[in-house]
Amino acid sequence: MNPLERFGTILLVAGLAFFGAAVAVEAWLPYQVLRGLPMQRLDEIARQVPPEFEDLAARYPDAFRRHFGAPTPEAYARALQIGIETYRAEACWHCHSQFVRPVSNEDRRFGAVSYPGEYQNVLQLPQMFGTRRVGPDLIRSAGKHSNDWHVAHFFEPRDVVPSSVMPSFKWFFDPPAAPDGVPQPNARGLAIVAYVQWLGSWAEQPDAPLLPEVTAAPGPAEGAAAAMTPDPAEGAVAAAVPGEAP
């Protein structure tokens, strides 16, 4: 084997080795770690119908009745499923992330940094963290705007946000029944509003920090002074408890 062939063989073996390592680290290991985590199912997510979904039924009764019937948990689950599929199909995740990163003061713009518990449900699989900020982060957009705002925003974004570069999604609406009528959201229009209004509604307080807060220990002089100085609050509390000396 000449040196060139030997070098090519080494590169081939090294490439296959790196490929195998990448599969193990990027696919197999995460699967082993995540497969045991509990993931909230769609029927569990939709068990409680939020007021925003009931408001959709009240504001667009004909369209809602035609596409979803009544605002029941079953209808809500179906709307969320159609909503997430529409969100993916229309590539909304290209411009809107669903992850508040701990950089660039994002917590000042979009709220607390995202935490793992926010993504333990089937509607976050696969996760659409995203990296672009063409539009605002949407991980906790529930309740930030009314249903009417979202409907107007999808129909013509610049009517509510003049500087928006978002395209209009007029195919989320049925043509008006009369020439002077108002377009009504169709199944996809109602569903994606329900989905956006759901984002973040399940979020609880972020996970506790991994390390306890460290408080500097007082110096010798400070410790002695603190031990010799009575605390007025402690005396008041002790005096208020019968049988305990101040």
Domain total of the chain: 1
pLDDT (mean) for 197-219? 57
Report the SS3 class of residue 39.
coil
99 lies in some domain: yes
**pLDDT tens per residue across span 140-196:** 999 999 999 999 999 999 999 999 999 999 999 998 866 667 889 999 999 999 999
Name the DSSP class of 106. Answer: H
- Residue 143's CB is within 10 A of a number of other CB atoms, namely 13
153 lies in some domain: yes
56 lies in some domain: yes
The DSSP element (H or E) to which 174 belongs, if any, is strand 173-174
**pLDDT tens per residue across span 39-49:** 899 999 999 99
Give pLDDT, residue 215.
41
241 lies in some domain: no
* CATH code for position 104: 1.10.760.10
| Higher local confidence (pLDDT), 69 or 205 | 69
What sign results for the dihedral spanned by CA atoms 56, 60, 65, 70? positive
Q: Whole-model pTM?
A: 0.72
| Higher local confidence (pLDDT), 134 or 214 | 134
73 lies in some domain: yes
What residues have CB less than 8 Å from 166, skipping those under 6 apart? 95, 135, 153, 157
pLDDT classification of 98: cutoffs 50, 70, 90: very high
Give pLDDT, residue 70.
97
pLDDT (mean) for 211-225? 42
Backbone angles phi, psi at 204, to 5 degrees: -105, -165
17 lies in some domain: no
189 lies in some domain: yes
191 lies in some domain: yes
pLDDT classification of 16: cutoffs 50, 70, 90: very high
Instruction: For residues 174 and 188, give the distance between their C-alpha atoms in angstroms, rounded to a whole number.
Output: 10
| Residue 123 lies in domain | 42-198
